[in-house]
Structure 1
Amino acid sequence: MTDELFRDDANLLHCEATVVALEEGGVVLDRTVAYPLGGGQAGDTGWLRQGERRWRLTDTRKSKVHPGGVLHLLEGELPALGAAVSVEVDAARRQAHRRFHTATHLLCALLPYPVDGCSITDTYARLDFHTDEPFDKAAIEAGLARLVAEAHPVRHRWIDEAELDANPGLVRSMSVQPPRGLGRVRVLEVEGVDLQPCGGTHVDNTADIGGLVVAKIEKKSAKTRRVVLQFA
């Protein structure tokens, strides 16, 4: 129902759209640049505009009422069904999500264990790894700094489900599986570093991530180690 423009270009911050459905607290649009909560990544915020009217976009979610729809949660009285609106994403928040999400791919390359939890916000990124091995904070920070400085290109492509089935090792997450039934799956490649299915938004080059620090390493259970990243 909603054409998700951000899947092919995370640099897009604005688009024109039409309201195709109304839900409590928000609207579903025919197209959008706003990323909906999913895959561990927080939803985009920003604004919707119609002429001189402006609504604060407080969150973006996948619609539970309209399959394939993206729900834009708004403050105040909703625009009318069929209204032509413009969508504008909060650029600073989007960029933070892109930087942190790409950083988690670098973390996966440095720590080759299954991932059983993930959270990506505009202030931190967290990955939970299924292992009982101890982690070295200084070594992780040094590895991240090296991969950022090496300026690896970051790109996505689509593969068919049969190709994914033939390469099950591409899936690192134990808790979030790639969506099935569409015939194709989006994979994210950090050139020479990491390749795995991912629908999130990312920077175009690891150099765009900037400085990172390991804010915390926790032993969450006998078989779970948590790593929390923040910007330096």
Structure 2
Amino acid sequence: MQERFYVDPYQQTLGTVVLRHDEHGLVLEDTLFYPSGGGQPGDTGTLALADGTQLAITDTRRDKETRDILHLLASDTPRLPPGTPVTLTLDWARRHRHMRVHTCLHLLSVVIKAGVTGGNLTADTGRLDFDLPEGMELDKDQIEAELNRLITQDRPVRVQMTSGEALQRQPELIKTMSVTPPLHLPEIRLIDIEGVDLQPCGGTHVARTGEIGAVTVKKIESKGARNKRVVIALI
């Protein structure tokens, strides 16, 4: 299966064929739907059959054992036989907001120089948890101002590839303390925000920081002795 969301995260439609459809979900020859992972929700959208029938894709997940991408349809949808031609249409408005928030979280990890212990995002908000010394305070207004400064610089966002072996020699690039990248793989994606940040990530991102748009820091809260949660939102 070719995962088109890595080749071109801006692609919105795709013609492909069914490989398998069972109780676990629908597996296609190619897909542009991102499966839930790394704190980013799975994509939604529609699937069109040759006769014009439209079926809703309600979620996208990756099978933990086979690594296949599973497109989830309504439980009463008839099983589609292998070889059935279909056309995928992404819920682009939702995905694009995920891309904006996800890229902003990379900038947040630059503004707050501490290990990241967790994170999550929706189409409207995103959050990172930081490992900070007890008693250390964060300035909400200062963080918000710095985020928006980096956004308005409109820096290019590009993908680089490295190997697990090479990444082990650059441990400073791994910011997430709770999840270690798959260092056994020969290829690992790095997201490069020009002149600002370089870190491994398997999500989808915008092409330039200016595309994020203005953001606000909604709240900062303690989640333990050393854990501070920072929540950002698109405006």
TM-score by length of 1: 0.95
Deviates more, 1:67-76 or 1:35-44: 67-76
Deviates more, 1:200-209 or 1:156-165: 156-165
- Give 1:60's aligned residue: 60
2:170 to 167, 170, 181: 167
- Give 2:224's aligned residue: 221
Displacement of 1:173 = 0.5
Amino acid at match of 2:109: C
Pairwise CA RMSD: 1.3
Q: How does 1:183-194 map onto structure 2 within 5 Å?
A: 183-194=186-197
In the TM superposition, structure 1's runs of 4+ consecutive aligned residues that sit over 6 Å from their partners are: none
Corresponding position: 1:35 with 2:38: no
CA displacement 1:42-79 (0-9 Å, x = unmatched): 110001111211110100000245x1310000122232
- Give 1:202's aligned residue: 205
Q: Name the CA distance, whole Å, in 1 between partners of 2:18 and 2:43.
A: 18
Matched-pair contact (CA < 8 Å) for 1:25–1:78 = no
Segments of structure 1 that go 5 or more residues without pairing to the other structure are none
Displacement of 1:198 = 0.4
Q: Name the CA distance, whole Å, in 2 between partners of 1:10 and 1:93.
A: 13
- Give 2:9's aligned residue: 10
Q: Name the CA distance, whole Å, in 1 between partners of 2:185 and 2:87.
A: 28
Matched-pair contact (CA < 8 Å) for 1:48–1:87 = yes
Displacement of 1:6 = 0.7
Q: Name the CA distance, whole Å, in 1 between partners of 2:24 and 2:123.
A: 23
- Give 1:77's aligned residue: 78
Structure 2 residue matching 1:141: 3-state secondary structure: helix
Amino acid at match of 2:116: V
Structure 1 residue matching 2:219: 3-state secondary structure: strand
Structure 1 residue matching 2:223: 3-state secondary structure: strand
Matched-pair contact (CA < 8 Å) for 1:26–1:78 = no
Q: How does 1:137-176 map onto structure 2 within 5 Å?
A: 137-176=140-179
CA displacement 1:155-196 (0-9 Å, x = unmatched): 111111221111111111112222344311000010011100
Q: Name the CA distance, whole Å, in 2 between partners of 1:180 and 1:136.
A: 35
Deviates more, 1:80-89 or 1:150-159: 80-89
Count of residue correspondences: 230
Q: Name the CA distance, whole Å, in 1 between partners of 2:24 and 2:117.
A: 32
Deviates more, 1:190-199 or 1:177-186: 177-186
